[in-house]
Structure 1
Amino acid sequence: MAEEPRTAAPPEAVRPPPARSKRRSNAVRPDPGFLDHLQALRAMPRGLLLGRIAYRLRRPLMALPFYVALLPGSRAAQPLTLPPDPWPGDAAQGAALVEGRFRFAGLTLREPKPLWKPRGATSEWQAEMHAFAWLRDLRACNGDAARRLARSMTAEWIETFGSRWSEPAWEPLVVGRRLSHWMGQYDFFASSGEIEFRKALLHSAARQANHLARVLPAGLAGADLILAVRGLALAGTCLPGGEKWLHRALDLLVNELPEQILPDGGHCERSPARHLGVLRDLVDIKSTLHAAGVEPPGELQLAIESMGPTLRLYQHGDGGLGLFNGSQAEQGFKVDMVLRRADARRRPRLSAPQTGFQRIQAGRTLVMVDAGVPAPPGLDRYAHAGTLAMEVSVGRERLVVNCGAPGAGAAGRHWRQAVRATAAHSTLTLAETNSAALATRKHFLGPSLLQRPETVHCRREEQEGAALLEMQHDGYRLPYGAIHHRRLYLGPGGDDLRGEDRVEVLDPDKAVGLPYAIRFHLHPDVQAALLTGGGVLLRLAKGGGWRLRAAGAEELTLEESIYFGDGEARRTTQLVLFGHLDTKGVQVKWALHRETTPR
C-alpha cells in the first residue's frame, strides 16, 4: 500500500493569483511551443545530443536475451581492495526497511510485491531501489537483521536482473551508483556471506562494469556523468581484471573535469547541491585510487582543490547551502564533512565570476546572489529562472530565502516546475513571467530552459568593510523590451542592507503598463508584521529584529509562500512590492535595517 505525504496546491508564491487586475497585464509571454523546444534541442551541444540519440538506438540491441550473457564476468571470490565509505546513512530509514517499509523518492510502500517493480511505484522509486543507496542506511541501522536483508535483496536482484538487460536496472547512471554502493558497503553485507554469494556478486559486478565501460558517456552530462564514472572507477580498482575499466574511467574523468569545473572552481550546472555531489564523488575516486596504490591524475587533484572554496561560498551561517537551481539546504555537518575530506582549508570565495555567484558579508550578515547566466543547454536540468535572486542570513539564522526544491517523488511532482519560476525567488518578476522560459515537454529534453538571459553583468566594489553589487540581466528584453537592474549595498557592520531594483524600458510599446513584483521570501522561522507607519517588522526565531522599508512601489503586502529547504513543504510568508511600469520604467528602493532593542 502506498503512502504519500499530503501537500497543498501551489499558492500565490509560485503561481499568479487570479485576482486584482491592477497587478496583471494581458501582455504575458506565451507558453513555449513545439518550435521553441526544437530550437532548444538544436542549441544542445552536438556531441551530447548525438550521444543521447546513439544510446537510444542501442537500447533494442541491449534488450536482446543474450546481451548480458555475452558480457564477461569474474570468477573471483574476493575484491582486490575496498573503497573507504565514511558517509553516514540514515539509521531510521534502515530500520524502516527491516520492518518492510520502503520509502524512496517521497513514496512509502509496505512489503512491496513484486519487490523490484511493485504496483504504485514511480520511476524515481524504482531507480532508487535499483541503485542500492539504501545499503548505507542498513549499515547505519546495523545488526544481523539489516545485514541479512541486504544480502537477500542483493541475491534476489542478481537472480532477477543479473543476466538480462532492462530499465531502470541497467540504466548507466543506476549501474554506476549500484557498483559504488556494492563496493562501498561490501564489508558490511558481503564479506561475511557464503562464497557462492560473493562469487555471484563479483561476477555480476564485472558484467555491469563491462556494460558501463561500453556505453558511457551514454548521453549523460554534468554531475550525472561524474557519478556514473565514479562507479566505473571503483569497479576498476576493486575487481580483479578491472584495469581496463579504470583506464576508461580516468580517461573520461580527465576529459570532463576541465569542461565541467570552471576557472573559479564552480561546477558548470551552477547548482550548489550538484556542486556538493560532484566534489563528494571526486573525493571518493581519489580515496579509492590511494587505497589501491594508484596515482590520481593531476586534473582530479586540481578540481578538488578549486571546488572547495567555491563550496564554502554557497554556505550560509548554519553550514547549509543556498537554495539556488534545484538545491536544498542540506545538513551543515554533511557539507563540512565533504570539505574536510577534500582538505578545503581555504576561506570561502567571495566572488565566482565564471560560475556567476556573489557573496557579500559584514558582521553577522551574509548575502548570497545568483549573478550569472543560467546553465547552458544540456546542463540546465536543474536550472531555475532565478537570475539576480538573493538570500540573506544573520549568524546561523536564515532571513530571506528562495523557495528551494521539493524532494523526489509524486508528492513533489506538481511543485517542481512551480518552484523553478522567477516568482519562487527573491527577485523582481515582470508581468508574472519567468526571466527564463521553462521547457514544458519532458520527452528527450527533460527539464531545461528554452530561453534564458543572454547577458548578465555584475560589478563588485568593496571599501572599508562595506560591499556594493551592481547587476543587470536582459531576460525580459525580448518579450517586453526591458532590462532588470539590481543594486545591493551591505554596510560595514552588517546592520544595514540596502537595495534598488530598477526596470529600464527599451520599448515603451511593449513595456509601459506592465505589472512588476519584487519578492522577499522569508524563512518559515521568521515572523513578519506590517507596521502602521509603513514597512514590515521581521522577527528571527532567536529574537533579532529587522525592519524593511521601501519607496517607489505602489503597494507592499504580506502573502503566502512555501519553503522546500529541507525537501518537505513548509508554509511561510513573502513580502511583495507591487507596481506598474511607466515610460521611464520604475525605480524601487528598499532597505533592511537591524532593529536595536532600547535599554
Structure 2
Amino acid sequence: MRWRDFLALRMARFAAPAKAFKSQPDPRSYGLATRGLQVLAGNHLVQGDVVEQGKGVLWGAALDDPETAAELHGFNWLDDVVAVDTPEARKQAQVWLFDWIARFGGGRGDGWAPDVTGRRVVRWINHAILILHHAEPDQSRAYFAALGHQSRFLLKRWKSAHAGFPRFEALTGLVYCGLALEGQDHVLAPALRALGRECQREIAQDGGISSRNPEELMEIFTLLSSVNQAVSSDGDYINPEIIRALQRMAPAIRALRFGDGTMARFHGGDTGQADRIDQALADAGIGSPARQGGAMGFARLSAGGTVVLMDSARLPVIGAPERAHASTLAVEMYSGKLPVLVSMGSARGFSANLHSAARATAAHSAVTIAGASLARFAGSGFVRRIYGQQLIDAPRKITLQRDNNQFGEAVLCSHDGYAASFGLTHSREIAVLHTGAEVQGHDRIFAKTTAEKVRFAAAAADMGQNRELPFAAHFRLHPDARVALDMGDTVASVTLQNGEVWLLRADGLKLTLHDTIYFEQGRLGPRATKEVVATSAVVEYEGVIRWTLSRPA
C-alpha cells in the first residue's frame, strides 16, 4: 500500500461515521448461482489451481494471490452468493461481510485500493437489505461505520486509481455513498463532477475505450447507467457528460454483441452476462441502433443471423496493456444465438503460462507465420497489473476498407505485425453473403519492397528454408460445437447445438484437427475444444489461403 493510501486510511478513521440510509439505490448488480455455489463450497481458482478451503471459509489461502485477493476484497462474490437465493447462502454472506469488517474494516489488509473499495461499496449498498436482515444493533453500527470510513477514503484517494475502468469503479462507489448515506451529501457533487470529467476523457467519440476490451466497456456502461438511474430517481443533478457518454457507448455495445446478447471476447474480455447487459441498456433508455460497421476498432459484418466481428485496429498500449492480445485480424463468428468461431479467451485467474498462451495469435481464429505471434509482450509471463507495459514488434500500420454490393458486405484489412520478424504483411478479406449462409475468407501473406524481401529470405534461411515459410489459418471452435473431417480431410463439418451444420473448406488444402482449450470465466478449469488448421506456405514472397464457411440449404 502506498504511503498516501495509508495516510488517507488513518485520517478516514476519524471521520464521522454514517448512521443510516437516507435512500437506497435499487440493486443493479447481478451474479451467477453456479459461481455462488463454488464460493459457498470454499473452492477458489488461484493461479490456475483450485484451492479447496472448506465450507464457511473465505479469508484464507486464496488471499496469498493478489488477483484473487482483489476479487474477494471487492465482494464480487456477493452478487453470486445472493444469486443462489437460499436462506443458508444469505446467512453465510452476512457472516463473511461482518467478518471482513472485524478483520479489515479499520484499514488493515490489502483490500484498500480505490477501485476495489469502490466495487465493495457498491455491492454493500446494493445488497443492504440482505446484509441488515436480522442483524444485531452493534453489527448495523459497524456496517454503517465501515461505509463511512470507505466513503472518506474514496473522497481522498479516487484519483490514485488507474485511469479507465478502475477509476470509474472508485468514483461510482463514492457516488453511491453520497446518494445513500446520511451525512455523506457533501461527497455527491464532487464525485459526479469527477465522473463527468472521466467520461469526457476516457469515452471516445465512437463510444470505445482505450483498452479495447468489450467486456470492460460493458462494465463501465453498467456503472454509469446505474449512477444515472440512481441520481435521476433521487431527483438530483447529474453531469450531462455522463448522459452523453452513455449515448456514445450504447451503439458501440450493441455493435459488439452477438445474437445471444453476449459480448465479443477480445483483449482480455469475456462474454459478460446477456441479461445484465440488457438491463443496463434498458435502464439507460437509449434506443440507438448498433454502430454501422462496428466500433472500438472491431469491424462488424452481419446478414441473415450470421455475425462476424474482426479485430481491425492496433493493439491497446494504454488502459490495460498487460491484457492486450495478439489478435489483429482475428475473427469471432456466431450463427444466430450459437457461437461458431471463437478465441481461447481470457486466462484471468489461471497460471502465468496459460495467461501468456491465451494472448498469442495462435489462441485466436487468426493467421500465424511459422508458428509465431504477430506481437510480443514485455513481461507477459507475469499476471499482475503493470500499467505502462510495452508491446514489442506489434503491428504499427493497419489498413481497413469496406465494401457493400449486391452479393453481400465485405471488409479488407491488413497489418504489418510480421514485417519485423519475416518481412511479411498479412491481409485478410472477410465477406458475408446477404443470405448469411456463407462466410468467405481470403488470407494473403506477401513481401513487397526489396527490404522486405531481403528480410524474408534471411528469416527463411535462419529456419533452414529456401525462400519458403509455412503459415496457417486457425479456426477455433466453441466447445459446444462438434467437428469432423470429411472428403479426404478437405472439409470440416461443424455441427452446432441446434443441429445446424457449417462446412469449412480451404481451397482444396488438407485440414488438420487439434485438441485445444477454451477459457470461460466462472469455471474452475478450461473446457476442452477443437481447432481446425489450414496450412500453406509463403513461396517466392507470397502465399494465399482461400476459405469458406457455408451452411447448406
TM-score normalised by the chain length of structure 1: 0.81
2:151 paired with 1:194: no
In the superposition, relative to structure 1, how do residues 104 and 227 fare at CA in structure 2: closer, same or farther (>3 Å)? farther
* Worse overlay, 529-538 or 273-282: 529-538
The DSSP-based 3-state class of the residue aligned with 2:472 is strand
1:97 Cα shift? Answer: 5.5
Question: Is 1:328 paired with 2:247?
Answer: no
Structure 2 residue 334 is the aligned partner of structure 1 residue 389: no
Aligned 8 A contact 1:362 1:465 in 2: no
Match for 1:430 among 369, 373, 376?
A: 369
Report the Cα distance in structure 2 between the residues aligned to 1:138 and 1:586, rounded to whole angstroms: 53
1:280 positional shift: 0.8
Q: Matches of residues 275-286 of structure 1 in structure 2 within 5 Å?
A: 275-286=217-228
**Partners of 1:60 and 1:453 in 2: CA distance:** 39
* 1:191–1:198 contact (8 Å) kept in structure 2: no
| 3-state secondary structure, aligned to 1:557 | strand
Q: 1:536 to 1:222 in 2, by over 3 A?
A: same
Q: Structure 2 vs 1, CA of residues 350 and 526 (structure 1 numbering), >3 Å: closer, same or farther?
A: farther
Identify the residue that residue 304 of structure 1 maps to in structure 2. 246
Instruction: Give 1:140-151 correspondences, 5 Å limit.
Output: 140-142=83-85, 144-151=87-94
Secondary structure (helix, strand or coil) at the match of 1:217 reads helix
Q: 1:127 aligns with which of 70, 84, 107?
A: 70
Q: CA deviation at 1:412?
A: 5.1
Task: Identify if the C-alpha distance between structure 1 residues 432 and 447 changes in structure 2 by more than 3 Å, giving closer, same or farther.
Answer: farther
Decide whether the 8 Å contact of 2:444 with 2:542 is kept in 1.
yes
Which residue of 2 is the match for residue 222 of structure 1?
Answer: 164
Give the secondary-structure state (helix, strand or coil) at the position aligned to 1:489: strand
- 1:579 maps to what in 2? 536
Q: 1:556: how far off? A: 3.0
Letter in 2 for 1:193: A
Normalised by the length of structure 2, the TM-score is 0.88
Structure 1 counterpart of 2:100, from 151, 157, 161: 157
Task: Return the match for 1:421 from 360, 381, 395.
Answer: 360
Greater shift after overlay, 559-568 or 455-464?
Answer: 559-568
Tell me how far apart the structure 2 counterparts of residues 263 and 95 of structure 1 sit (CA, whole Å): 41
Counterpart position of 1:519: 474
CA distance in 2, matches of 1:349, 1:320: 16
Look up the match of 1:10.
none
By how many angstroms is 1:62 displaced? 4.6
Give 1:296 deviation, angstroms. Answer: 1.7
Q: 1:136 aligns with which of 62, 75, 79?
A: 79
1:358 to 299, 306, 328: 299
Matches of 1:363 and 1:560, distance apart in 2:
31
Task: Return the letter of the residue paired with 1:265.
Answer: G
Structure 1 pair 129–118 and aligned structure 2 pair: CA distance change class (3 A): same
Equivalent pair of 1:389/1:425 in contact (CA under 8 Å): yes
Residue ranges of structure 2 left out of the alignment (5+ in a row): 458-467
What is the CA-CA distance between 1:171 and the residue it aligns to?
A: 1.7
Query: C-alpha separation between the residues in 2 aligned to 1:498 and 1:96?
Result: 42
Tell me the residue number matched to 2:464: none
Residues 160-206 of structure 1, C-alpha deviations (whole Å, 9 max, x = no match): 22224431x21222111111111111122126423332222222212
Residue equivalent to 1:177? 119
User: What amino acid is aligned across from residue 195 of structure 1 in structure 2?
Assistant: P
Determine the structure 1 residue equivalent to 2:460. none
Question: In the comparison of the two structures, how many residue pairs are matched?
Answer: 532
Q: Distance in 2 between matches of 1:296 and 1:564?
A: 39
Q: Name the % identity.
A: 27
Aligned pair partner of 1:319 in 261, 266, 284: 261
In structure 1, distance between residues paired with 2:469 and 2:89: 60
Q: For 1:509, give the aligned amino acid.
A: V
Deviation by residue 1:145-169 (Cα, 9 ceiling, x = unmatched): 44443333333222222224431x2
- Kindly indicate whether residue 537 of structure 2 is the aligned counterpart of residue 595 of structure 1: no
Is 1:552–1:587's contact at 8 Å kept on the other side of the alignment? no
The answer on whether the counterparts of 2:19 and 2:182 sit within 8 Å (CA) in structure 1 is no
1:542 equivalenced with 2:498 (yes/no): yes
Q: CA deviation at 1:76?
A: 3.8
84 and 571 in structure 1: CA distance in 2 versus 1, 3 angstrom threshold: same
| Counterparts of 1:385 and 1:330, CA distance in 2 | 21
Q: Is the 8 A contact 2:318 2:387 kept in 1?
A: no
* Separation (CA, whole Å) in 2 of partners of 1:148 and 1:544: 45
Which deviates more from structure 2 when the two are superposed, residues 363-372 or residues 321-330? 321-330
The separation in 2 between residues aligned to 1:120 and 1:216, in whole angstroms, is 23
1:166 aligns with 2:105: no
Moved more, 366-375 or 84-93: 84-93
* CA positional deviation for 1:432: 1.9
Note if contact 2:456-2:541 (Cα within 8 Å) is conserved in structure 1. Answer: no
Consecutive unaligned residues in structure 1, runs of 5 or more: 1-55
Partners in 2 of 1:543 and 1:276 — Cα distance? 31
CA–CA separation in structure 2 for the residues paired with 1:592 and 1:144: 50
Distance 1:135 1:593 in 2: 44
Distance 1:469 1:444 in 2: 35
SS at 1:417 equivalent: helix
CA gap 1:316/1:67 in 2 versus in 1, 3 angstroms: closer
Deviations 1:404-461 (A, max 9, x none): 123x43x455321111101111111123222121232647626955232122211111
Q: How far 1:323 moved relative to its partner?
A: 2.0
Task: Give the drift of 1:113.
Answer: 9.3
CA-atom RMSD in angstroms: 2.8
Shift of 1:564: 2.0
Are the aligned partners of 2:213 and 2:266 in contact in 1 as well (CA < 8 Å)?
A: yes
Deviation at 1:509, TM superposition (A): 2.4
Contact 1:69 1:163 in 2 (8 A): no
Per-residue deviation at 1:559? 1.9
Are 1:510 and 2:455 matched, yes or no? Answer: yes
Q: What letter corresponds to residue 587 of structure 1 in structure 2?
A: V
> Partner of 1:272 in structure 2?
214
Q: 2:199 corresponds to which residue? A: 257
Is the CA contact 2:536–2:545 (under 8 Å) kept in the aligned structure 1?
no
SS in 1 for 2:24: coil
